[in-house]
Amino acid sequence: MSMQKLITPYCADFGKPNVVIKHFPDSESYIFIRKVETLKNKSVTIYHRLYSDPDKIIFELLILLSRVSKETRNIELFVPYLPYARQDR
């Protein structure tokens, strides 16, 4: 089984990013996965930190998951910062 890593710019400290995330002037996000076709039927680990603007970055993660799920067999998330986890304390 072949495991592929997708690293977003928010997790660049875990490796060289291979997902491009840019923002248009109206603050919309542009997400591009390099060589997405190579993920076909593989297991993928996505490295994505949800800090510093969690609402926007969670949405970017959902866009990324939507695209990756069309190609892969299995997806794992590595999210070193999980916003909203302590709100009820």
Determine how many CB atoms are found less than 10 A away from the CB of residue 50. Answer: 20
Q: What are the CA-CA distances from residue 55 to residues 1, 42, 68, 86 (Å)?
A: 34, 29, 20, 15
Contact 26, 56 (CB under 8 A): no
Confidence of residue 1 (pLDDT cuts 50, 70, 90): low
Domain CATH code at residue 18: 3.40.50.2020
Q: pLDDT (tens digit, 9 = 90+) per residue, 42-84?
A: 999 999 999 889 999 999 999 999 999 999 989 999 999 888 8
Domain span holding position 55:
3-78
- Cβ atoms of 19 and 32 within 8 Å: the answer is yes
pTM of the model: 0.90
In a domain, 10, yes or no: yes
52 found inside a domain: yes
Domain count across the chain: 1
Residue 89 confidence (pLDDT): 62
- The residues, ordered by sequence, that sit 6+ positions from 86 with a Cβ below 8 Å of its Cβ are none
